[in-house]
Structure 1
Amino acid sequence: ASNALPPLIRTLKGDRRKKFLDVLIGLSLKDKDRTVRMSATEALSHLLSDEQQDDAVFDAILQAAEDTYDGVRLEAARAVGRMKGRRRETLDKLLPLLQDSSYQVRR
């Protein structure tokens, strides 16, 4: 399902896009189901490689990097890797994310 989201979101404009992003961000940060948070974070990560990068998406990815569930943090680490152009804010988060994701790969 999340593979279909990036093309769908790219077709949305203006208020519709913002409302949809708000829902995805809410799911990635606040949903009680960790699988939903992980899937929403994955969908958001595809948007970081989009030309229409949104600061709210970027901030949500950085917050997801601090999630209690390993899978969500792993998706956040992948998102940072997909980013077009690194932002200064990612430098502080990048090393812990990479350490965390490499630990997951070894497990």
Structure 2
Amino acid sequence: MTEEFRPIEVVDVGRGDPTPPRPPRPPRELHGVLLTLIAVGVLVGAACAAFTAWTVYQTQQDQRVLYCTSFILSDGQGDTPSYDDMEDEQKRIVDQLDCDVPGR
């Protein structure tokens, strides 16, 4: 290598004129975004609460049917006992559950 001075060659890479840079995005309005997030959160919360309430209601209905069936078939013979033949405690529970018992 020699130590003599050589001018640097400038090379253009690519074709055509360079494209101008994109303008920066305008800043977002944070109040609109925050209100949207709050509205979505309220709707999701309401939907979850409604689903929970419906599930609890259905569970209570299923339990009522099971308890009524257990009191009606409590004699073990398959015969439906009459309301008058039940003990006071059984009558109270049957009344609270609103079971369909003959003689009630």
TM-score, normalised to structure 2, is: 0.26
**Structure with the larger RCO, 1 or 2 (CA within 8 Å, 6+ apart):** 1
Of structures 1 and 2, the larger Rg is shown by: 2
More helix by share: 1
